[in-house]
Chains A and B, each alone.
Chain A
Amino acid sequence: GAVVSQHPSRVICKSGTSVKIECRSLDFQATTMFWYRQFPKQSLMLMATSNEGSKATYEQGVEKDKFLINHASLTLSTLTVTSAHPEDSSFYICSVPRYNEQFFGPGTRLTVL
């Protein structure tokens, strides 16, 4: 498999501020990572595909200027929620694909006040 970590696990911020979430692949070099969002009692929704060395690919309806993704290295992708608003409060999860499977991080709970 693959071991994936996320930091922070929980973050609370004020409306209008920006929040950075890190996703690290600890034992596998990943040219691609995925970012998902999960609202309470709902399933995971793919937000974007993070590509090392190139721009991220965003799913329809996801604002690329609001959710900035940087795949800085083969082991690190970051998601920055810019000018966060209460409606951005959610559980953000990254995953690393390996072969035909995906291995998920533990998630980051974002609460915007």
Chain B
Amino acid sequence: TQLLEQSPQFLSIQEGENLTVYCNSSSVFSSLQWYRQEPGEGPVLLVTVVTGGEVKKLKRLTFQFGDARKDSSLHITAAQPGDTGLYLCAGGSQGNLIFGKGTKLSVKP
């Protein structure tokens, strides 16, 4: 059974701080996705990483896929209150995704 473990589960920081969220597995994934979900809404896709060692940037967000394609990280630089939300990593194949439990981020002004 493929599992994705995210850490930390909760993160509360001040505006302007940097943070990193991790997504780890003992299984190899063909790709990993990162989603952001706000309360009462569906997850919104942020990025998909497919190549081992790949790094993608989305403004202040940097996503990295591990060389062995078993883990991924999300780094946010100079966090803002608008970054608050639940960050989910997901992996799988053929459209059937397995989700991590998520990291709930709170950025205080």
Contact = CB atoms under 8 A, between A and B. Distances in A.
A34 B40 contact: no
Interface in A16-38: 32, 34
Contacts of B40: 91, 107, 109
Interface string A86-113: 0000010101011011111111010000
A75 interface: no
Most buried by A among B48, B95, B99: B95
A41 B44 CA distance: 17
Contacts, number: 58
Nearest to B9: A41
B42 A42 contact: no
A54 interface: no
A100 B42 contact: no
Contacts of B100: 43
B45 interface: yes
A29 B105 CA distance: 35
Contact of B102 (A43, A101, A107, A109): A43
A102 B101 contact: no
Contacts of B64: none
A46 interface: yes
Contacts of B104: 41
Contact of A100 (B30, B35, B88): B30
Given A1-B45, A101-B48, A102-B45, A46 B96 contact: yes
Contact of B31 (A44, A45, A100): A100
A106 to B, nearest CB: 5
A77 interface: no
Given A46-B97, A101-B45, A102-B45, 8 more contacts: A6-B42, A34-B96, A34-B97, A41-B104, A49-B96, A91-B40, A95-B97, A104-B35
Interface of A: 1, 4, 6, 32, 34, 41-46, 49, 91, 93, 95, 97-98, 100-107, 109
